[in-house]
Structure 1
């Protein structure tokens, strides 16, 4: 069962070790994590039985604001309110629009 009683952080994956470390840090903080990226391959490491109830992986193009809006909405519905977006690779196409969607 998903943990609906905590905040969710959306991490935009860029395939780097840094983005993976950020996801680990967020999970260790007790928050839920939604991860998104252009390629399914980047998301596979996070489909993990140990954290399956605290992480949501969604393939989306971060450069497309409508896709990121849908990710934020879905993550909020499934995991709890998205309170922060972390984009270590600077892949978001419209940062201001995405920021307006978070709690």
Structure 2
């Protein structure tokens, strides 16, 4: 989902089966513990659990080919820091994206 998507409450036709939407958002929310790249998506779609419309169900945007990087920093088994961010540039390969992510993690660990 693109960061430019703006969903509004109660705009569009009410979804005939809101249970599917709520269940899907709940599963995605659970996955955010291990997949920091979907945190933004879940934060956009979760506020509309009470009044689900067809617009909310179909919320998607074209991919902009930018990688989303994320990391967790643990000290002694305790979570100290975490981050999920869509990169500002388009990497030519996944290796370039991974090097950028490692550089961010290295600076975060140095700070901690």
TM normalised by structure 2 equals 0.23
Q: Which has the higher strand share?
A: 1
TM normalised by structure 1 equals 0.25
Kindly name which structure, 1 or 2, has the bigger radius of gyration based on alpha carbons.
2
Q: Which has the higher helix share?
A: 2
Structure possessing the higher relative contact order (Cα contacts under 8 Å, 6 or more residues apart): 1
